[in-house]
Amino acid sequence: GANIGPAVRTPADTRKHIRDDPHAQTALLESRLLTGAGKLYAKVQETCGQQFWSKRQRVEFCVEKLAEFKRRRRAMGDTAFLMEPDVKNAKGGLRDVSTIFWLSMAWYGTPTARELIGQGLVDDAEFNGFVRGRNFLWRTRTGLHLLAGREDDRLRFEYQPELAKMLQFRDSDKRSAVERFLKIYFLNVRMIADLADIFALHFEEQINPPRRWRRSQDLGNGMSLRDGKVTIGDEKSFAAEPINLIKIFVEAQKEHRVMNSYALRIVRKYSRAVDAKLRVSKAANSMFLEILRSPRNVATSLNQMHETGVLGRFVPDFGRITGHGQFDRYHCYTVDAHTIRAIDVLRDFRLGEGQFIDMPLASKLMLELQRPELLFVALMFHDIAKGQGGDHSELGEHLSRKFCRRLGLSDDDTGLVTWLVRFHLDYSKTAQHYDLSDPEVIADFSRFIGDRERLVYLFLLTVADVTAVGPGTWTEWKGHLFSQLFYAVEGCLRAGRVTPDNQENRIASRRESVLKMCAKGEREEVASALAVLSNTSTLHFPPVVLKDLCCLLAQKSGAYLAVNESLGHTQVIVWGADRPKLFAHLTATLAGANTKALAAYAYSLRDGRILDEFHITDRFDSAVSEPGQLARLQQRLEDVLAGKIPTAIKTPASADVLMRALPVEVRHLEAAAKSITAIEVVAADRRGLLADIAEAIAEMNFDVRGANIATFGEKAVDVFFVTDSEGDKLDSVQTDVLIQRIEQAAKLEANQIRAD
């Protein structure tokens, strides 16, 4: 029901009340006569209506509303394209419509919003667009309240299918009903958000007008420059040549210029003039490349081109993904919003501001690029074929090749762009799912990359892509893996190839480096421990860590925890006598302590003991650092090493709609490792999943040699490196049986870890 705040006042009291209260002024703007003759209501309007406000009242009201407008948007993530948006308060929501109407009515003193059309302050298309968008959001919000049985403005995943059905959306050959509903929803939201941005800028300009003594500079074709702002002084001259719709963005990138709100409105008004003839124009395509090559405001220009409708018409393939959302929890934004955000991440790397993530390597490499425009084109097309059916990477490669030819790029430039689009997922997959300590994996990936230039471009595209997926998708651990792979491949490419002889030299060099750090009394003990460590574990740990580890191995068994704030995780090292299901019990103990595993490595020592390493975080994706929690966890792990069986963990019995919709997929990942068997598991993420799978492997008398763990929203994508009890790679029969066993263990029904 409605939230009522009743009050009884005379017209005189009302006038005093609204004088300095923006909320009361807003209520007056929205006031309606419900019943009665209306004499008192008319008197209130005659004495208190916005048409009678003083200039001070107008300015103060608009300043407060603009500040409130910005605060609300920031609190909602400052984007209109979250996949679980707030229909009322998010950017592009109902509150944006109301705010722009309030600002217009207050500043210009009109009694109703529609009268703004007659005064020429907005045109019919702009006003009707607001109204259509508002009406669709009203229907959506009403449906939400009916489904929830209460006031709930969050368009949650579980409501989306039912709401699509309620609003009579149907499945098509390529898209589900919910995807079609979300497409229409986001198109309406985008239209509201874009117009709201332009009008908010307009009112800021009205409150702080340009200095009168500044001269206006003629830029030609109806465009002019005043006080650093590009505007349109002659609308007729500007509209006479459609190429001006591209040229104005080139002008706005020069020096320290920006476009004012009037220019953006005029560009939006004539955006339909971008037609097939303009798209094949050499001059227009050359200007578009000039925009991408500019050292400043590439992301801003593309975003404004998108908001005004120019980008979607100049690049029709991009226009088709506008408003396209994906029904999952990993992708937080629509495809077009994600793409523009990824380009903004690259801008941030170039400037080194750290607005999104702090990654000096990416900033350094971004400054090295000789052809940054190729990276921007690749990012524009990397997800452009989503929603069209088939492999979006392959389809995107085809579409990007056509666009590159249209731009007049060389075969070499076109080859780089299409390669980046086709293989834009491979770097992330290799870094997170493959054994990066395996020289053959690095050598294979290096051969695939081919040269350092492609490595740099693919690295930057991948980091920007992952960062732009949504808040929290980028972690320090991913940064570590991506950097580790970059340096490994860079070294491999520089050396030409990795050979077994080289590996033996690296092991000898690593051991010598460790021994050089030892004091005289430590060398013998450390040398003995180094002899016990396997070659893989010797190369895995850096020398400083390896030295400390060798000192720890002097004890028969134990657990060691080290907080690594820079990488955002806590390192857990456990060593001791091996026994059946030990790895499963260790993972169950970590899960029982409410921690999340980022990675796991298992090694066999030459003296019969095992050495397991885990990288863990708390449930907020931060390093586990509280001293009491660290001490308790260390004791529990040492108890397990001593033979204690961990307490059974009960996983939540309920699963949300996205988890239930996610099928379990288990497959042999042959390319991920050469000497051992790699099994990839895709399943709904839940507490204890890693321990369930580890126990399933142990029950078949196989050993886990390591695991790479990644989580994407509700989806867990884990890779387990497995051998038989003799340390050998599994044969095809063993692999098939293990896959079937893991499929059963990973299902949501298996909601309790058996510790026996």
Neighbours of 74 (CB within 10 A): 10
Running DSSP on this structure, what letter comes out for residue 154?
Answer: B
Is 709 in the same domain as 572? yes
The amino acid at residue 75 is: A
CB 255 within 8 A of CB 192: no
Q: In what order do the strands lie in the sheet with 223-226?
A: 217-220, 223-226, 229-232, 258-259
Q: Which helix (H) or strand (E) holds 515?
A: helix 500-516
pLDDT of residue 44: 84
Residue 137 lies in a domain: yes
Pick from 136, 33, 141, 5: nearest CA to 86: 141
Range of the domain at 261: 217-287
Is 629 in the same domain as 737? yes
Residue 536 lies in a domain: no
CA distance 307 to 296: 19
CB 418 within 8 A of CB 397: yes
pLDDT of residue 439: 83
Tell me the CA distances in angstroms from 410 to 278, 375, 413, 688, one per residue in order: 21, 15, 5, 52
CB 696 within 8 A of CB 728: no
CB 507 within 8 A of CB 535: yes
Using the 3D structure, point to which of 287, 313, 338 is the last residue of a domain.
287
Question: Which residues, 6+ apart, have CB-to-CB distance to 623 below 8 Å?
Answer: 563, 564, 565, 567, 568, 569, 570, 617
Assign residue 142 the CATH number of its domain. 1.20.120.330
Is 723 in the same domain as 581? yes
Residue 262 lies in a domain: yes
Q: How many domains does the chain have?
A: 4
DSSP assignment of 393-437 equals HHHHHHHHHHHHHHHT--HHHHHHHHHHHHTTTHHHHHHHHS-TT
Rg of the chain in Å (alpha carbons)? 31
Residue 735 lies in a domain: yes
Question: Which residues, 6+ apart, have CB-to-CB distance to 433 below 8 Å?
Answer: 669, 672, 680, 708, 710, 717, 719
Question: Which residues, 6+ apart, have CB-to-CB distance to 572 below 8 Å?
Answer: 559, 560, 561, 590, 613, 614, 615, 616, 633, 637
Tokens (6 digits) for 723: 């051998």
CB 493 within 8 A of CB 446: yes
Residue 164 lies in a domain: yes
pLDDT of residue 654: 61
pLDDT of residue 8: 87
Question: Which residues, 6+ apart, have CB-to-CB distance to 662 below 8 Å?
Answer: 682, 683, 684, 714, 715
The low-confidence residues of the chain, meaning pLDDT below 70, are 1-2, 116, 118-121, 210-214, 326-331, 472, 494-503, 506, 566, 648-655, 672-673, 710, 712-713, 749-756
Residue 586 lies in a domain: yes
pLDDT of residue 750: 45
pTM (predicted TM-score): 0.67
Is 705 in the same domain as 586? yes
pLDDT of residue 528: 92
Residue 618 lies in a domain: yes
Question: Which residues, 6+ apart, have CB-to-CB distance to 199 below 8 Å?
Answer: 100, 103, 104, 261
pLDDT per position as a tens digit, 507-557: 887 788 889 889 888 899 999 999 999 887 887 787 788 899 999 999 999
Residue 294 lies in a domain: no
Tell me the CA distances in angstroms from 198 to 266, 304, 698, one per residue in order: 11, 10, 61
